[in-house]
Structure 1
Amino acid sequence: MKRMRIPVVTLITLAGFVLASYGLCFGEAHISAAKYKAGDTVTITGKIAPGQDLYITIAQNKMFNGKVREFNGQKSMGNFERKKLPKKAKKFGFTMDTNLPPLFYVLTTNRDAFGKDTAKKFGGPSFMKKMLGGGLYNTSM
């Protein structure tokens, strides 16, 4: 039986191609600063492969969770959060210890990955909301 040897150079070259192709699958990004204040401009530069979706999330540094009793100087989470957060936690698979950013932005090229667009109406006097079907102003979310 004849033994076949694969040269070390061939293995190293093959490993290099595998690692290079693996690295090309991920985007590369750089952000302009480590900390920001309200009103600062955020600059993100980088590259993604053609045809890949872009997802950028910018979130507030201070987080809250369901067990917190004081957030950012406020002594309570509020009535809405106390009622809704435990139900939403079960529904979406996180616990009351999960840290959540109260303010964040998502920039993407694939809007459908986060749900469908729906028309929303808001604003205006409360007595007019029933007449107008939800409010004076229209937007899509």
Structure 2
Amino acid sequence: MIGDRMKQLRGNRTQEDIASLIGVSRARYSHYENGRSEPDLVMLEKIADCYGVTIDELLGRTNISERTNTIIVAGQEINLSIEELQLFEELKKHPVLFHDLATDPERKIKELLKLYEMKKMLLEEDTTDYGDGFGELKD
């Protein structure tokens, strides 16, 4: 049951992505999803926190609610999906990105999340070889 829930919660992210977030190898995470081993209590807490669910929801004891997570920025509550919240937590490691949130923080947070996703998509699609970056110089 827990493996099925973990697969459901993982969505389109890779096992490698989630494994690195919770601090285990991809193989170990795969064993959890496929029922070959079971996480201990500490690991259950890490997995639940990673997905933004309770341990009861992770174990299938209660239904996973379709809820959003609320953050407070510049005194304003902003609702984010679990994926948006995880991305926001990652972006918080770069405080320079948040220099101008005093006016309309919700719009700016959502815009920042979209820009980050677009950048990621563009970098994945861009296979152009730019060489050493200087090109040919003409006199």
TM-score by length of 1: 0.22
| Higher helix fraction (1 or 2) | 2
| Higher strand fraction (1 or 2) | 1
Q: Give the structure with higher Rg (CA).
A: 1
Larger relative contact order (C-alpha < 8 A, sep ≥ 6)?
A: 1
TM-score by length of 2: 0.22
